[in-house]
């Protein structure tokens, strides 16, 4: 088939389709009886005269060549725009040219068939709802060993039901030796995330009443899924703070207990300490949200999901914590749920010179939004004792799925924060205590924010006995 007449460049066309048509006939006919039209333009380099015997040696074209060694013909044409036609440049025969063309065609068909089969297999997995093939387990780049080499299997571990799906892992409720546990199952592609979170949970001295308790690291999978790394953690059946506040309201005492325990847990994470001969470094959570805070049976809060947490630089920090350190400014600027991100993370102005302090301040901003969510469901802060349905921070202003641009406009450019009702100022013995506390935590200037320890102290001061009915008539 010739190219379209509109082509503007010289085209060298090899007659692939004609080649396939000629092969059967060529195989049947003896070479001595095959003849081809022969033509060579004066400017063509090389010659095909040696491939056969020229017949009809007249001065003008066309001439004929009798094949001596091969059974196939090939041609080269030159398509010119001015003449709008194809001019033949060379005809002759060559067995090596035929074999090269045949090999190229077969290779092309093989590549196309492999691509088509791979696409069909992937689409079949998606239609059937099955998991896509996982990559092979990778070795830990820091230790050079297989990730599963030191992970025991726990035959007593049973998976019950999925309670949360995240970007890097799926959390199951289950049982271990007859006790309820939460099982965080990582796919093989998230081995690095598993290793980082495990390293944090296994830091000495991390045990605290308001930090989720780590039980074991293991490997396994529910059902037929590929075996992957697991974190076995303490289970809190009441669920997340978000779920709890959606279903329940809490009086002042219970609201204060949730708020105070949350501040205590964060203050403990941020603190660098030596205790009983063990060193605990300061840790920034970086993903505080009402989904990552759980409710204990006594109504207090416990901070979970250390998947994005970072060990902070400290005076007494041993070098063994290096695997949990960020690698470059981009890793330091990474954060979790956008709704709770501090303004300096939204506009990429976090202080990288003192990033340990900066990340602590960003956590306090997130803490302030969680305190607002807790207090918004307290009937004692409402004259009619009827708090509105639960809403996430900024949900009233931006809806349930705000974009980064919308959050930046609201929190950075306009410096707006969740609405604080005036009735909140009438409840405590310190009329402006709650408003001042929140405003000092979510201040646009990171350096003006309270520390988590100071938040804990302020909430403790608010826990003094209150009057029976704080609201004034009218």
Q: Which helix (H) or strand (E) holds 330?
A: helix 329-333
Is 84 one of the annotated active-site residues of the chain?
no
Compute CA distances 213 → 175, 244, 257, 300, whole Å: 15, 20, 20, 14
DSSP states along 347-362: TT---STTHHHHHHHH
Going from the C-alpha of 30 to that of each of 52, 99, 227, 320, the distances in angstroms are 14, 18, 63, 80
Give the whole-angstrom CA distance, residue 409 versus residue 343: 10
Q: What angle do CA 168, 171, 176 make, to 5 degrees?
A: 135
Distance in angstroms (rounded) separating the CA atoms of residues 70 and 65:
12
Q: In whole angstroms, give the CA distance from residue 423 to residue 441.
A: 20
- DSSP letter at 342 equals -
Angle at CA of residue 61, ends 57 and 67, nearest 5°: 60
Residue in this structure with the two tokens 């001969």, named with its chain if needed: 277
Tally of CA atoms within 13 A in the half-sphere of 74 that contains its CB = 18
Name the DSSP class of 240: B
Q: Which of 211, 159, 152 is nearest to 184 (CA)?
A: 159
In the numeric block, the tokens 């039980």 are attached to 215
Encode burial over 88-125: b for 16+ CB neighbours within 10 A, e otherwise. Answer: ebbbbbbeebbeebeeeeeeeeeeeeeeeeeeeeeeee
| Cα distances (angstroms) measured from residue 242 to each of 19, 48, 64, 238, 290 | 71, 82, 88, 11, 5
Among residues 287, 363, 380, 443, which one is catalytic? Answer: 287
Four-CA torsion 408, 413, 418, 424, nearest 10 degrees: 160
Phi and psi dihedrals of 66, rounded to 5? -95, 125
Cβ atoms of residues 55 and 67 within 8 Å:
no
* Strand, helix or coil for residue 153: coil
Active site residues: 287
């Amino acid at each position: 088939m010739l190219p379209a007449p509109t082509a503007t460049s010289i085209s060298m066309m090899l007659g692939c389709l004609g080649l396939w048509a000629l092969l059967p006939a060529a195989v049947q006919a003896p070479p001595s009886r095959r003849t081809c039209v022969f033509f060579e333009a004066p400017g063509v380099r090389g010659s095909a005269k040696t491939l056969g015997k020229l017949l009809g040696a007249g001065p003008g074209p066309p001439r004929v060549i009798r094949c001596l060694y091969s059974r196939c013909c090939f041609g080269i044409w030159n398509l010119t725009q001015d003449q709008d036609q194809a001019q033949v440049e060379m005809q002759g025969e060559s067995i090596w040219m035929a074999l090269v063309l045949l090999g190229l065609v077969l290779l092309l068909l093989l590549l196309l068939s492999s691509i088509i089969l791979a696409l069909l297999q992937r689409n079949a997995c998606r239609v059937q709802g099955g998991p896509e093939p996982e990559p092979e387990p990778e070795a830990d780049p820091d230790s050079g060993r297989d990730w599963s080499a030191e992970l025991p299997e726990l035959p007593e571990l049973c998976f019950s039901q999925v309670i949360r799906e995240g970007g890097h892992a799926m959390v199951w409720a289950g049982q271990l030796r007859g006790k309820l546990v939460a099982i965080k199952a990582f796919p093989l592609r998230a081995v690095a995330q598993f290793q980082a979170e495990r390293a944090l949970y296994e830091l000495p001295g991390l045990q605290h009443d308001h930090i989720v308790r780590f039980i074991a690291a293991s490997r396994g999978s529910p059902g037929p899924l590929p075996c992957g790394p697991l974190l076995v953690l303490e289970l809190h059946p009441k669920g997340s703070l978000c779920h709890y506040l959606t279903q329940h309201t809490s009086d002042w005492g219970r609201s204060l207990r949730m708020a105070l325990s949350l501040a205590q847990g964060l203050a403990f994470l941020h603190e660098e300490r030596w205790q009983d001969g063990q060193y605990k470094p300061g840790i920034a959570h970086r993903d505080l949200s009402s989904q990552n805070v759980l409710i204990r049976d006594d109504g207090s809060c416990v901070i979970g999901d250390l998947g994005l947490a970072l060990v902070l630089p400290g005076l007494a920090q041993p070098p063994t914590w290096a695997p949990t350190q960020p690698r470059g400014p981009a890793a330091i600027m990474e954060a979790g749920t956008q709704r709770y991100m501090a303004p300096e993370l939204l506009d990429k102005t976090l202080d990288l010179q003192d990033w340990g302090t900066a990340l602590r301040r960003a956590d306090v901003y997130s803490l302030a939004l969680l305190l607002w969510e807790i207090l918004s469901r307290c009937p004692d802060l409402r004259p009619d004792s009827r708090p509105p349905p639960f809403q996430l921070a900024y949900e009233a202003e931006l809806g349930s799925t705000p974009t980064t641009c919308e959050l930046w406009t609201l929190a950075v450019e306009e410096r707006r924060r969740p609405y604080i009702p005036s009735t909140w100022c009438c409840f405590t013995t310190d009329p402006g205590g709650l408003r001042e506390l929140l405003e000092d935590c979510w201040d646009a200037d990171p350096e003006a924010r309270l520390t988590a320890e100071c938040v804990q102290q302020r909430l403790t001061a608010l826990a003094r006995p209150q009057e029976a009915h704080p609201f004034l008539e009218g």
